[in-house]
């Protein structure tokens, strides 16, 4: 939720100041913030694999390197990367959607784009819970996307109504 809020807030500020969103600059900033630490972690795993009995399967390496651990089961040492994978997928998709709809002033379309994961994620959680579905891993991977979407929606609501919210907060101190 916090990532959705923060990223959307920053995109809103950039859109307001520059009149548009620079996707290139956005992706460079994200890469510089995330990839060095991420690759350092994977390098540590590679060193463990080279010098100890630790072993990550070929599939595990592929899943880790492609930010898809939220869709595929992985080892206990890299399985926690599911949350980072989900955020990276969000960073890949959301800024483009935001840039297209917000610059065109299509706030209703942006709201609909956020409503889809909020409505569908509980359905995916149910599928993941029962587990017998052939779509089980996809359901697991998509079952948490609503929290990021809620954060995005909250940022848009707060930003678009910030004067009213600030006035309300000031009057109730």
What are 119-172's pLDDT values in tens digits? 988 888 887 777 766 666 676 777 788 899 999 999 999 998 888 888 888 888
Task: Examine the pLDDT at 30 and tell me if it is beyond 90.
Answer: yes
Mean predicted lDDT score pLDDT of the chain: 87
> Which residue has better confidence, 36 or 145?
36
Q: Which helix (H) or strand (E) holds 150?
A: helix 145-160
Could you tell me if 64 and 84 are in contact, meaning their C-beta atoms sit under 8 angstroms apart?
Answer: no
Q: Report how far apart, in Å, the C-alpha atoms of 35 and of each of 29, 154, 163 are.
A: 10, 27, 37
**Nearest Cα residue to 124 out of 79, 93, 86, 74:** 86
Q: How many domains does the chain have?
A: 1
Q: How would residue 43 be classed by pLDDT, with cut points 50, 70 and 90?
A: very high
Q: What is the pLDDT of residue 107?
A: 83
Whole-number pLDDT of residue 112: 87
Range of the structural domain that residue 118 is part of: 2-171
pTM above 0.75, yes or no: yes
Cβ pair 12, 152 in contact under 8 A: no
Structure tokens at 70: 């939220």
pLDDT at 167: 86
Contact 93, 77 (CB under 8 A): no
Q: Which residue has the higher pLDDT, 1 or 45?
A: 45
Q: What is the pLDDT of residue 136?
A: 67
Listed range (75-79, 89-93, 107-111, 113-117) with the worst mean pLDDT = 75-79
CA distance 3 to 7: 6
Residue 34: pLDDT over 80 = yes
What's the distance, Cα to Cα, between the start and end of the chain in Å?
Answer: 27
| Segment 54-84, tens digit of pLDDT | 898 898 899 899 998 887 766 777 878 888 8
DSSP per-residue codes, 59-96: HHHHHHHTT-TTTS---TTTGGGHHHHHHHHHHHHHHH
Q: How much is the pLDDT for 50?
A: 95
51-55, 103-107, 151-155: the lowest-pLDDT one: 103-107
Q: Write b or e for each residue in 40-58: b if 16 or more Cβ atoms lie within 10 A of its Cβ, otherwise e.
A: eebeebeeeeeeeeeebee
DSSP state of 154: H
């Amino acid at each position: 939720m916090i990532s959705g809020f923060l990223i959307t807030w920053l995109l809103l500020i950039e859109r307001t100041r520059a009149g548009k969103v620079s996707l290139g600059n956005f992706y460079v900033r994200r890469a510089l913030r995330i990839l060095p630490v991420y690759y350092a972690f994977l390098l540590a795993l590679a060193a463990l694999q080279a010098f100890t009995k630790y072993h990550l399967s070929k599939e595990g390496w592929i899943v880790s390197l492609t930010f898809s651990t939220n869709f595929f089961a992985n080892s206990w040492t890299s399985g926690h990367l599911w949350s980072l994978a989900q955020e990276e997928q969000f960073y890949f998709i959301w800024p483009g959607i935001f840039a297209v709809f917000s610059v065109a002033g299509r706030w209703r379309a942006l709201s609909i784009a956020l409503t889809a994961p909020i409505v569908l994620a509980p359905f995916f959680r149910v599928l993941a819970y029962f587990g017998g579905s052939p779509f089980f891993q996809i359901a697991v991977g998509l079952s948490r996307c609503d929290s990021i979407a809620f954060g995005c929606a909250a940022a848009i609501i707060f930003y678009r109504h910030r004067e009213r919210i600030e006035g309300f907060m000031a009057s109730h101190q």
